[in-house]
Amino acid sequence: MQSFRTEIENPVVENDIIELANKIELFHNGKIDEEKFRSLRLARGVYGQRQEGVQMIRIKLPYGKVKSNQLRRISDVSDEYSRGRLHITTRQDIQIHYVDLNRTPELWAELEKDDVTLREACGNTVRNITASELAGIDVNEPFDVSPYADAMFRFFLRNPICQEMGRKFKVSFSSSDDDTGLSYMHDLGFIAKIKNGVRGFKVMIGGGLGSQPRHADVLYDFIETDKIIPTMEGVLRIFDRHGERKSRAKARMKFLIKDIGLDGFKALVDEEQNAIEHKSVAIDADAYVASKPVSVEAPQVEINNVDAFNLWKSTNLIPQKQEGYVAIGIKVLLGDFYTDKARLLANLVEKYAAGEIRLSLRQNIVIPFVKEDLVSFFYTELEKLGFVEAGYNKAIDITACPGTDTCNLGIASSTGIADELERVLKAEYPQYLKNEDLVIKISGCMNACGQHNMANIGFQGMTVRTPDKLVAPALQVLLGGGNLGDGNGLFADKVVKVPSKRGPEALRRILNDFEANANGKTFVEYYKVTGERYFYDLLNDLQDVTNLTQDDFIDWGTNEEYVKEIGIGECAGVVIDLIATLFFESEEKIENAQKAFNNSVYSNAIYHAYSSLVNSAKAMLLAENKSTNTHAGIISQFDELFVATGRIDLGSSFADLIYQINKFAPTKDFAANYIENANAFLDKVKSYREAQNELNKQAI
């Protein structure tokens, strides 16, 4: 094993980074199979890239808050390990690309020097917890949700109950009934409320986008703030146990809620409370360290283009609830900017604002706590950085995922078409520079990282095939989605599929019709009265693929003829004994359980032991070529195949043994007994497996 060392003071973080370095070495040496290694690195923010041999690194930035020192650190890391470009995602993360896998541990170590993590930025974990980018300054908010989002992030980071779930889990916080955190499309969404003078949240559950978008249900109309962490823990435990694990397409929370029903799910969450150590987790919002604005005199500046300045003020200044201050919105084209500008921006806000920026769900930047008399100065400084383009969060501000630029799953270019559509809007529809009622979003595939199916006008990357079997890039046009507020929203209808080069013409027809006939209605209102068929007829002729030109076979942003490439493979690992690997993992889980027990964290110890029990049973079922879709399914199948038939004697059913986890409180005595049971179970199944292998050898 390589002797990688860090300078990290936190031993837990240091151990994480050293473990990643060791697992990379084991993978290179063929000691870990590709699938298991993928799971491990994804949970550490290391994501396979479309280009072979390099990785995308996702930097986890809870609720989009980035301090000046952190932004400088991220810039230094990007320059050293990547190419100096930063990409803001629709989940308030920052991604950097083209990173050598072998350098990812030292990259992570550098980030942690300023409390920036990669942990659980990807993979089947609780992803970055997002929030309204105006949290704490929002004129409509009943209270600042930042302390609660921060407490949630810290409680579930590295928490054993959410390290190896069947699929990812996304959480949002909205600062007001405007629901700018988009709770209705999240696995779990919290909307700030005050009831009878008490702070709390409306809780939404089971929302999602992708190829089958689902509107979230109301889990609770109101729960007090001390109940949000126990509620989420219960939800995660049930999702971990009953969620699908074999078919990725069916493994999200929205499908589990659909399968067992909201009432059935709530009943399971209620039953699980016995296993939860803390029935109430008070969050001290007053102790949350919020950034404070500096006190500085406004330097004298001269505005060269007063008209441009006034236009910028009309679209990019955001009212702030703190008297005497405003926030500034920076429109970041496609979420991409470079480290030289990032450093200068970090220095600017540190000296003249509150020393932080916020990343938005629309891939933009917000500077909070700008004194009103500093607005002119900020304009001149941001102008030097190319950061004063008007139209922040307006119709002209199009959201797009990276698409075929770097993503393995991209089908068609989303950044190229976004660039072209913004050009069309600026040149032909200047009135939309100030329109915030029209939202346009683009994704390069059905997975909806660009959130296209909740937009007023959305585009999804696809392909079309001509009668003579030629393939060209295409766009699915979706219309009518939108955020209605307070946990309510609409998903867009799929209307037509057009060759990509006809995307601008499709947009022109939609906007021209809207301009001529809407009579003051918003786009959502207008689409509601006109309907899918109306727009299908309006755009139908654009679907014709019998008359494509050579240009139609070249995607936006490239000069090369289109080739459909999805999921370019990462290098395959050598064949290993998967059953032995699973047993080894079970041993590691028991070791983790014992460490947690020794640190008196009994609830974590119990969950590690539970994971070992399930993992060991899964190994035995795989040895028999049995399906292992869910944890609950593994438990019942093990009983049917091994216990009921007498092949393995546990003295009870496996279900009775393992389901003690939700029948007993997480005490020291129960934790000790449960770990002992997990260890004994592992010994028993390993012995059975060895005996079977010996019999098989003799038979040969």
Least confident of 6-15, 91-100, 134-143, 355-364: 6-15
Give a yes or no: residue 129 inside a domain.
no
Tell me the pLDDT tens digit for each residue of 29-76: 888 877 778 888 888 889 888 787 789 999 999 999 999 999 999 999
Least confident of 316-330, 396-410, 670-684: 396-410
pLDDT at position 568 is: 38
CA distance 487 to 193: 12
H or E segment to which residue 667 belongs = none
pLDDT at position 397 is: 87
Beta bridge partners of 336: 87
How many CB atoms within 10 Å of residue 521? 15
Tell me the pLDDT tens digit for each residue of 498-507: 999 999 999 9
Instruction: Say if residue 73 is in the same domain as residue 50.
Output: yes
Instruction: Say if residue 549 is in the same domain as residue 586.
Output: no
Mean pLDDT of 68-86: 97
Give a yes or no: residue 251 inside a domain.
yes
Give a yes or no: residue 379 inside a domain.
yes
**Strand ordering across the sheet containing 336-338:** 46-48, 55-59, 94-99, 85-88, 336-338
Q: Give 204-268 as a 3 state SS string.
A: EECCECCCCCECCEEEEEEEEHHHHHHHHHHHHHHHHHHCCCCCHHHCCHHHHHHHHCHHHHHHH
Instruction: Say if residue 536 is in the same domain as residue 639.
Output: no
Domain boundary (356, 384, 412) is at 384
Instruction: Say if residue 450 is in the same domain as residue 538.
Output: yes
Mean pLDDT of 327-355: 96
Mean pLDDT of 645-662: 95
State whether residue 324 is helix, strand or coil: coil
Q: What is the CATH number of the domain that holds 626?
A: 1.20.120.330
* C-beta separation of 324 from 372 below 8 A: yes
Q: Provide CB contacts within 8 A for 273, sequence distance 6+.
A: 230, 234, 279
pTM for the full predicted model: 0.89
What confidence tier does 582 reach under pLDDT thresholds 50, 70, 90? confident
Instruction: Say if residue 528 is in the same domain as residue 419.
Output: yes
Please say if the pLDDT value at position 569 is more than 50: no
Query: How much of the chain exceeds pLDDT 70, in percent?
Result: 96
Instruction: Say if residue 601 is in the same domain as residue 690.
Output: yes
Maximum Cα–Cα distance for the chain, whole Å? 91
Q: What is the CATH number of the domain that holds 169?
A: 3.30.413.10
Provide Rg for the chain, Cα atoms: 27
Phi-psi region of 3 (alpha: psi -120 to 50; beta: other; left: phi over 0): beta
Q: Which of 558, 533, 547, 403 is nearest to 475 (CA)?
A: 403
Mean pLDDT of 466-471: 88
Please say if the pLDDT value at position 77 is more than 90: yes
Comparing 50 with 620, the larger pLDDT belongs to 620
pLDDT at position 575 is: 31
Give a yes or no: residue 119 inside a domain.
no
Instruction: Say if residue 107 is in the same domain as residue 173.
Output: no
Give a yes or no: residue 481 inside a domain.
yes
Instruction: Say if residue 609 is in the same domain as residue 518.
Output: no
pLDDT at position 79 is: 97
Give a yes or no: residue 125 inside a domain.
no
Q: What is the mean pLDDT of the chain?
A: 91
Q: For residue 94, what are its two tokens? A: 């920052």
Number of structural domains found in the chain: 5
Least confident of 298-307, 387-396, 689-698: 689-698
Give a yes or no: residue 298 inside a domain.
no
> Could you tell me the sign of the dihedral formed by the alpha carbons of 233, 238, 239, 241, in that order?
positive
Instruction: Say if residue 644 is in the same domain as residue 540.
Output: no
pLDDT at position 572 is: 27
Mean pLDDT of 321-325: 96
pLDDT at position 336 is: 94
Q: What is the CATH number of the domain that holds 26?
A: 3.90.480.20
Instruction: Say if residue 590 is in the same domain as residue 671.
Output: yes
Domain boundary (112, 145, 173) is at 112
Phi-psi region of 175 (alpha: psi -120 to 50; beta: other; left: phi over 0): alpha
Domain that holds residue 333: 306-384
Please say if the pLDDT value at position 106 is more than 80: yes
pLDDT at position 6 is: 62
Instruction: Say if residue 141 is in the same domain as residue 241.
Output: yes
Give a yes or no: residue 567 inside a domain.
no
Domain boundary (328, 358, 384) is at 384
Instruction: Say if residue 482 is in the same domain as residue 373.
Output: no
